[in-house]
Amino acid sequence: MDHEAVLDVFRKCGAMLEGHFLLSSGLHSPRYLQCARVCRLPDVCGRLCAELAKEFQDTHVDVVVGPALGGIVLAYELARALSARGIFMERDAEGRMTLRRGFELKPGESVLVAEDVMTTGGSVAEIVEAAERAGAKVAGIACLVDRGGAKRFEGRRVAGLLRMEIPTYAPEACPQCREGAPLVKPGSRERQA
């Protein structure tokens, strides 16, 4: 699938949002890609993940790991496409990404990290570090949307179906804040900010 075909899927699913958004990184943005609206449709999500998995067909992958919440469905669908295990990491009481629920990574296992939207790559970096601490080898990073986070992982294999440079602003430099536009935190804890 080319860029326009993937973007068309996001539009048809109502996943391309316009407004004033607080990202998990703390930055503000006038656009937000709500991957949950794509992932709610199993056929669509499965097709996108099968397409993304093609980027790693030449690589043995034992397990696909995504961050809770946005990467859970993607890890599962990518694991299905790659005949691997699909698991997720979640934050512990101290806010660190960790494996729970009996999930484990074994030394030497080949890991693919899955994310829905990668803006700064913070959650992905935490998973990469945790996987490597466990002795696993990170084979690559797969995301539905790369908003520029791939730059953080220079030298690593990164694949994104949709690459978009969407502006982000520090709160003190945000033009929408200056205009008094209401700020919304989308995602798993959607609320007015």
The segment with the largest mean pLDDT, out of 64-73, 75-84, 139-148, 178-187, is 75-84
pLDDT of residue 189: 45
Q: Which two tokens stand for residue 73?
A: 């469905």
More confident residue, 38 or 191: 38
Q: Pull the structure tokens for residue 56.
A: 């790693």
What distance in Å separates the CA atoms of residue 121 and residue 115, rounded to the nearest whole number?
9
Identify the sign of the CA torsion 59, 63, 69, 74.
positive
Of the pLDDT bands very low, low, confident and very high (cuts 50, 70, 90), residue 74 is very high
Residue 136: Cβ within 10 Å count: 21
Reported CATH class of domain 3-192: alpha beta
In the chain, the largest separation of any two C-alpha atoms, in whole Å, equals 52
pTM over 0.95: no
122-180 confidence digits (pLDDT tens) = 899 999 999 999 999 999 999 999 988 888 888 899 999 999 888 889 999 999 999 99
CB neighbour list of residue 156: distance below 8 Å, 6 or more residues apart = 128, 138, 140, 141
33 close to 7: Cβ distance less than 8 angstroms: no
